[in-house]
Amino acid sequence: MALEIERKFLVKNDDWRGPWAAHRIRQGYLTAGDATTVRVRIDNARAFLTVKGECGGPTRSEYEYEIPSADADEMLRLCQSPLIEKTRHDVLVDGQLWQVDEFAGANAGLVLAEAELTHPQQWLVPPSWIGLEVTQDVRYRNSYLARHPFAAWRTAAA
């Protein structure tokens, strides 16, 4: 098992843009709204099956296995809600990796930045383009966004 410790933020502007590596991600969920999620992800040419459990706070238990892309492609059709489509940019600022996700499809307009930490109390210096922290806001979880796309609630959130 890995413990995933992640903090998530809204992104205020485009100042993060640069010649960063970008991946095209398509993912879906085989579980519907449970505390445990089972995710199928195709990230560029690689594919993964990932189980995440609830631990509270920014920490979740995570079990990730690389699987054949052809399997993932078929399994994505078993997902009950629409897929999440996004482009992930690996933005490196002062040695900290920020994964900036630009969502597409029904979640277009949403941009989130995630920082993975090595322990829950790790000091994090947010760059100027980082906005409100949403780590504890379940609406910004990808598993929630798959069932309740941003387009349906963004006005209320603005």
The whole-angstrom distance between residue 155's C-alpha and the CA centroid of its chain comes to 21
- The answer to whether 82 contacts a copy of itself (rule: CB under 8 A) is no
Nearer to a copy of itself by Cβ, of 52 and 88: the residue is: 52
Residues 77 and 81: their CA atoms lie apart, in Å, by: 10
Q: Is residue 75 close enough to count as binding a copy of itself by CB under 8 A?
A: yes
Closest CB 109 distance from a copy of itself, rounded Å: 30
What count of Cα atoms within 13 Å lies in the side-chain half-sphere of residue 95?
4
Distance between CA atoms of 48 and 39, rounded to whole angstroms? 8
Q: Which of residues 32-51 bind a copy of itself (CB under 8 A)?
A: 32, 34, 36, 38, 49, 51
Query: Smallest distance, Å, CB 104 to a copy of itself?
Result: 24
- The single residue among 13, 80, 128, 136 that binds a copy of itself, judged by CB under 8 A, is 80
Q: Which is nearer to a copy of itself, 49 or 151 (CB)?
A: 49
Residue that has been written with the tokens 């920020």 in this structure: 98
CB atoms closer than 10 angstroms to residue 48: 16
List 63, 109, 128, 139, residue binding a copy of itself (CB under 8 A): 63
Q: Is residue 103 a contact partner of residue 86, using CB atoms and an 8 Å limit?
A: yes
- Which residues are part of the catalytic machinery? 29
Residue 22's SS3 state is: strand
Binding residues for a copy of itself, rule: CB under 8 A, are 1, 30-32, 34, 36, 38, 49, 51, 53, 61, 63, 65, 67, 70-71, 74-75, 78-80
